[in-house]
Structure 1
Amino acid sequence: MKHTKTKKKWEFPDTYVIVFGVLLLAVLATYIMPAGTFDREEIDGVTTIVPDTYEGVTQAPAGLMDIFLAIQTGMIESADIIFLVLFAGGMFEVISRSGAIQAGIYSAIDVMRGKEFLLLATIITIFSIGGAVGALGNSVIAFVALGVMLVKALKFDAIVAVAITFNAAFIGFAAGFLNPYTVGIAHNIAELPLFSGLGFRLIAFVILTGVTIWYTWRYCKKILEDPNKSLIGVEDSEESLELDNEFTARHKWILAITALGLIFFIFAVIKFQWTTNHMAALFILIAIITGYIGKMNYNEIAITFIEGCKGLIYGALIIGLARAVLVIMEDGLVLDTLVNALSEPLSALPPVATALGMFIMNSIFNFFVPSGSGQAAIMMPIQTPLADMIGITRQVSVLAFQFGDGFSNSLFPTSGTLMASLAVAGVPWVKWAKWFLPLFIIWSIIAMILLAIAVMINLGPF
């Protein structure tokens, strides 16, 4: 018998594999990069680098066991952020299981029948807000099928279905005025008050969401005028969209309490200096209250909450693994060397150019690490002291990370959520990229303008 060897198809490495590869590069750096440190000082509780104090020290290369100890240490040092992410998943799972989110969306669709523009604008806004507060991430995939049903009834194509659900959620995620997975983690690392700079990010949210609505509706109008202008074709459908999910008073109470809880948190951050730990605790409280209103018993609330946590284990633990990179570089005394090496050429550039460079750098890095929380854990420890050295505020560096990480989630095929959403809608990535690329360019131009303004006004903590 002849045995034929089957060649295994090459697969793009998983995010964990990529981050572990970055960890190994950090280990290698402790052997080949000169070791050095800056002096540091604490001002108003914030630790900053003292410029022009870098000096070389004896190398401290990492050993084999140090690699795996760093992973454990990274998990421990990131525990507050990891549990924030897990508890957010638990809370939103309880709310979702009550049917309040779905019923709210169905209600908006039902009210807006016959008013196509208002309907699409409302749906995009709802999904964008969901992304901005962290309610919609990977879970948006489940709503893409609803979007497909809707656009068929409206005589649009499946690209529109992805645009009004996935794409809307991720522009909200990028603007992220209250996003615990990106802004919350970045602020924690940068030692900024949690969700500070909210007003500026709200302005960014309104502009970016508004542009997204305009761009999407512009494409829809073309299809209404001539279906042949669809990039993938419009399916003929005589089916009407039947929505039987009643938006009850119970659903309204659940959404209202969730919204009030998040608004109160913003107030408490400003008034009482609440932290990520307070936010995680608030997520548990909201889950219990909304679960009770949703007629869940204590066992159902607990089990549902844990299931929600399970859904975010992948994204949560990547934070600890990414933190291990920082642990190796700090213990190996090469982090300050890297910051010093980057600061020297960047210090010769205008501050605005430096901020734009951070934005571009984060956009490129997101291709390899398509995880907002993981990217924050890797990039912010480098960008924070770099911002101090070159004279831009830490808030600007967070904004550059936020935009760089967020926009490309809707473009790069390494984004699992994007590819899953396209698969549900039956849209080829090439067709999506052709539709989305002009919008990506518009988003990027807006981001650069906002970053330039942020640099010029010295955007600070509040």
Structure 2
Amino acid sequence: MADAPTLSRFRAPDTTLILAGIIVFAAVLTWIVPPGEYARAEIEVEGVGTREVVVPGSYGRMERGDEGVVSRLLHSAAMVLQAPIRGFVDEDAAPIIAFVLLVGGAFAVLTETGAVDAALRRVVSAAERSPTLDVLLIPLFIAIFSLGGAVFGMSEETIPFVLIFVPLALALGYDSLTGAAIPFLGSAAGFASAFFNPFTVGVAQGISGVALFSGAGFRVVLWVIVTAVVAGFVMWHARRVRRDPARSPVHAIDAAQKGEGLVEVESGFTATHGAVLLAFAAGIGVLVAGVLLAQWYIVEIAALFVGLGVVMGAVGGLGGNGTARAFMMGVRDLAPTAVIIGLARGILIVLEDGHVVDTILDALASGLGGAGATLAACAMFGIQTAINFFVPSGSGQAALTMPLMAPLADLVGVSRQTAVLAFQMGDGFTNMIIPTSAVLMGVLSLAKVPWPTWAKWVLPLQLLLVTVGLVALVIAVGIGYA
């Protein structure tokens, strides 16, 4: 427990504060970086419509106006203060903000019915009575949580599951690291390698002008590999701890927790819970069919989830008021994400107002162009990984980086689909270790695991996943993933 005081003194800067600081920094850059621009051309993207892209090789410098220093200072200050509202009403950001809030409300209704928790408890109770399930427990649940991360961006929802899986892991002879890892690393694996996650893949593809959820086949293969790597790592650790509990990095902490005993796990699964889960599964089926067959985009998908939320609330017995309250609680919980998207878009608005975005793109392209498409794609992965420490929000990071990375991909010979892949892996993998992740810190707090202990334990997994990511990008470039 010696690390606990150090952890309690750590105060990661708030994401909103970070973005506000970046807005100010962007305004400063408009004084330093010379203005310039590329010529633009409109292209038709299947399933998305017309999109504007830069014309490679057309960059040219611009002359600044004759306004004085005081006038420029006043204009820069005004742009900094206006950036948040301009980000909210921006034609690219506004639909994404509405989409995130509405989908979040629908998932809150699902959570409120208790169907997910009841199903989990029933499976856990059966596993305690079956040696076969005991062996399959870790890979089974990691796969389930990973599927949640891959399909609908399950992330914060994993936090309460720690209260079930840590006591269960201790009772089965594992440790609290294993208990926390099953839900958290499972969902994080799916989040990073998602094939239908609307909060990362959907947002990034929408901003990049890529057909929504296209290229899913490649990402499904990636999801299987990443999930298998995570499951294998956790299983290896769990079996080693079961053989020799003293080898666990949290052995002393777990010794105290074991005295508290395992919480009673009842099945509690009713026909109502089954009906809710069936309705949800049917809704996901309609989503997949709509995207693949009718080329649904943000508006149609958001409408589906609003309707699905109503159906799940009715089937789950929440009633009109209960459904409405749960829906608005979900909207409230995702309000910070909406603000982050608006602020992130505001950064680009400030840079665009100073006509420095294209200059930055030209500098990045010049730095990566000579390296070749493969190295450029890997460099994009590295850039997204570094940015994720400061902006640990998938949709927020997409809104911040993809307007830059998508046209940059055009300039360096990398497909925009590959640029989206570099983004989602760069955003997702380090969510498992960075202390600025609110989800990670919430999970560790419930599991009573100090962050430095977790970081040291999960670092080898991070190196494995980075290797998988680099190999995936090399293959994506090689096959012309588009």
* TM-score bracket relative to the smaller structure: over 0.9
1:236-385 matched pairs, under 5 angstroms? 236=258, 239=261, 242-385=264-407
Alpha-carbon distance between aligned partners in 2 of 1:148 and 1:132, rounded to the nearest angstrom: 23
1:6-405 matched pairs, under 5 angstroms? 11-44=11-44, 45-59=50-64, 62-77=75-90, 78-113=93-128, 114=131, 115-134=133-152, 136-233=154-251, 234-235=254-255, 236=258, 239=261, 242-405=264-427
Alpha-carbon distance between aligned partners in 1 of 2:329 and 2:418, rounded to the nearest angstrom: 36
Alpha-carbon distance between aligned partners in 1 of 2:224 and 2:192, rounded to the nearest angstrom: 12
SS across alignment from 1:46? strand
Gaps of 5+ in 2: 1-8, 45-49, 66-71
SS across alignment from 2:371? coil
The Cα RMSD (Å) is 1.6
Alpha-carbon distance between aligned partners in 2 of 1:350 and 1:66, rounded to the nearest angstrom: 37
Alpha-carbon distance between aligned partners in 2 of 1:431 and 1:238, rounded to the nearest angstrom: 22
Larger deviation, residues 315-324 vs 54-63: 54-63
Equivalent position amino acid for 1:109 in 2: V
Shift of 1:424: 0.6
SS across alignment from 2:152? coil
Shift of 1:237: 5.4
Equivalent position amino acid for 2:432 in 1: S
Equivalent position amino acid for 2:292 in 1: I
Alpha-carbon distance between aligned partners in 2 of 1:459 and 1:69, rounded to the nearest angstrom: 39
Q: Percent identity?
A: 38
Shift of 1:245: 3.8
Give the TM-score normalised by structure 1: 0.94
Distance 1:238 1:370, change over 3 A: closer
Larger deviation, residues 274-283 vs 393-402: 274-283
Q: Does the 8 Å contact 1:108/1:123 carry over to 2? A: no
Structure 1 runs, 4 residues or longer, greater than 6 Å off: none
Q: Does the 8 Å contact 2:174/2:239 carry over to 1? A: no
1:442 corresponds in structure 2 to: 464
Alpha-carbon distance between aligned partners in 2 of 1:12 and 1:439, rounded to the nearest angstrom: 23
Alpha-carbon distance between aligned partners in 2 of 1:423 and 1:95, rounded to the nearest angstrom: 25
Alpha-carbon distance between aligned partners in 1 of 2:391 and 2:351, rounded to the nearest angstrom: 19
Q: Does the 8 Å contact 1:351/1:455 carry over to 2? A: yes
Alpha-carbon distance between aligned partners in 1 of 2:191 and 2:10, rounded to the nearest angstrom: 31
Shift of 1:247: 2.1
Alpha-carbon distance between aligned partners in 1 of 2:476 and 2:40, rounded to the nearest angstrom: 26
Shift of 1:171: 1.2
Shift of 1:252: 2.0
Q: Does the 8 Å contact 1:100/1:252 carry over to 2? A: yes
Q: Does the 8 Å contact 2:153/2:198 carry over to 1? A: no
Shift of 1:440: 0.7
Equivalent position amino acid for 2:336 in 1: Y
1:3 corresponds in structure 2 to: none
Q: Does the 8 Å contact 1:117/1:217 carry over to 2? A: no
Larger deviation, residues 235-244 vs 430-439: 235-244
Shift of 1:205: 0.9
SS across alignment from 1:47? strand
SS across alignment from 1:48? strand
Distance 1:442 1:10, change over 3 A: closer
Shift of 1:136: 2.2
Distance 1:186 1:135, change over 3 A: closer
Shift of 1:206: 0.9
Among 436, 440, 444, the alignment partner of 1:422 is 444
